[in-house]
A and B are shown apart, each in its own frame.
Chain A
Amino acid sequence: MSTDFDERLRAWLDDGDDVLPDLYLNAALEQVARLAQRNTRSAAVRRYLPMSGLARTVNSGARLVAAVAAVAIVAIAAAVALTTAGLPIGFLGSSPHFMPDDLESIVLSPFDPPDGATHTTTLRDVEALVDAVGADTATWRAVERSGYIDSRAEVFASSEFSLPDGAGRSVTSWAAVFGTSADASDALGIIRAWSEKWHPSLTSYARWGDGGISFEEMPSPWAPPDAADWGEAGLLWRYGNLLMYVHAWGDYDAGELELLAQGMQTGADQ
């Protein structure tokens, strides 16, 4: 709905220069004539093999031995930690496999919204992925490269807690299918790295499935100043080749978020 304020803001923004002076266009083209484009092949290699100056001096054989040893140590440590953490029986051995058709029954149903909320939109594939990570970014491309197949998001909002300008309480239930469990694990790592940028309170989350991340910020750094009790929280976890994510923003309840996550896990188990 357009308001008087919106109209005035648009009218104000319509004022201003619209033509790039030739001086700048010509200067840019002169620079381009002298500059080479980025070498994508070497850039890709750098992205995948970030090496320090010291690492470059080590021969490849030594790096291979070191990598194998590191993987073995991490695997043993993880097995010990998980065994002693009281995780569900069968956790280490189970690796369920999901198909894109399963997504609909995993995310929250549009017909069964969280208390006080109404369903606002269903997102599929790229749209849904964008809701979790920004599109056409290094993160987005990395997630797609990791064997991403399909995703679905159901978004709910509550008019009861909404503030003007669309900043309201919202809950997103998101799930994504990957080719293999290893792909999903890679994607989890990529999204985790991306999330660390936005959520300093990120911690490990291992209530269900094969581990994940959680965060809770109260109040949220993005909350409006007159809504000091607003927060933001999210749970992202991997289950076989599936990533599941539930995110709430606004005047939410942490216990409710866990229940929603439990609902998604139950959907996956059925």
Chain B
Amino acid sequence: MEPILVMRARRGDRDAFADIAAAIGDRLYAVAHRILRDRELAGDATQETLVKIWQELPTLREVDRFDAWSHRLLINACRDELRRQRRTPSTVHLLPHDDPVADASLTVADRDQLERGFRRLTADQRAVVILQYYLDYSLAEIATTLDLPIGTVRSRLHYAKRALRAALDADRRAAMPRRSSA
């Protein structure tokens, strides 16, 4: 993000903020969608985050930390959305398997198991997975973004990957007897 835009918006320039929102909206939404696995929830979290960014911008001391800071606000918003979702009747919308852009190297079963495994993760575990595997953040960058000790980030990643691996392995174990009996 252009530092000059951030500085202008920090001083209350709404036009500058509109440019920022247009520039980062898609990226924030993409991250929120991957954490929340739901378009409406992701849209709500992104909208809430953009408003929060505007309100809190004067408290951001170093403009070159804008990206990490905005991601932290987004992840907080996603956490709130998941919390609200848990208090309401479950409406699980699995993402479609016939997505034309889906990677061909992933089987339908892989995607299904990853989806189910991911949904079992906590919001905090989901966040570290997305930051590392979708945004390619280093452990230090994740720690910075989430305000966590690096050891905690490492540990959360370990748990999350372990759960996702277990989901994939469970699928394989379930599939093997079927193959052998065929």
Task: Give A residues with C-beta under 8 Å from B.
Answer: 5-21, 23-25, 27-29, 31-33, 35-40, 43, 127, 130-132, 134-137, 139, 141, 163, 165-167, 170, 198, 220, 222-224, 232, 247, 249
| Distance in angstroms between the alpha carbons of A232 and B152 in the assembled complex | 11
Closest residue to B103 on the A side, CB-wise?
A11
State whether the Cβ of B81 lies closer than 8 Å to any Cβ in chain A: no
Q: Pick 16 A–B contacts, CB within 8 A, sort by A.
A: A5-B165, A9-B114, A12-B106, A13-B133, A18-B29, A18-B30, A24-B46, A33-B14, A35-B55, A37-B56, A38-B56, A135-B65, A135-B143, A166-B139, A166-B158, A198-B149
Tally of A-B Cβ pairs under 8 angstroms: 169
Contact present for A29 and B155 (CB under 8 Å): no
Q: Which residues of B contact A131 (CB under 8 A)?
A: 149-150
CB neighbours of B103 from chain A (8 A): 11-12, 14-15
Interface size on B, residues (CB 8 A): 69
**Contact A134 B50, beta carbon cutoff 8 Å:** no
Contact B151 A10 (CB under 8 A): no
Interfacial residues of chain B within 15-74, with CB under 8 A of chain A in the complex: 17-18, 21-22, 25-26, 28-30, 33-34, 39, 42-44, 46-47, 50-51, 54-59, 61-62, 65, 68-69
B56 touching A130, Cβ below 8 Å: no
Contact (Cβ within 8 A) A9 B155: no
Q: Determine whether B76 belongs to the interface, using a CB cutoff of 8 Å to chain A.
A: no
Closest chain B residue to A19 by CB distance?
B26
**A35 vs B17: C-alpha distance when bound (angstroms):** 13
Contacts of B68 in A (CB 8 A): 135-136
How many whole Å from A16's CB to the nearest CB in chain B? Answer: 5
Q: In the complex, what distance in Å separates the CA atom of A28 from the CA atom of B14?
A: 12
Report yes or no: A40 in contact with B58, Cβ–Cβ below 8 A.
Answer: yes
Nearest chain A CB to B72 CB, angstrom units: 8
Chain B residues with Cβ below 8 Å from A28 are 21, 25, 46-47, 50-51
Q: Are A24 and B55 in contact (CB under 8 A)?
A: no
Q: A141 contacts B61, CB within 8 Å?
A: yes
Please name the residue on chain A nearest to B97 by beta carbon: A15
CB–CB A32/B14 < 8 A: yes
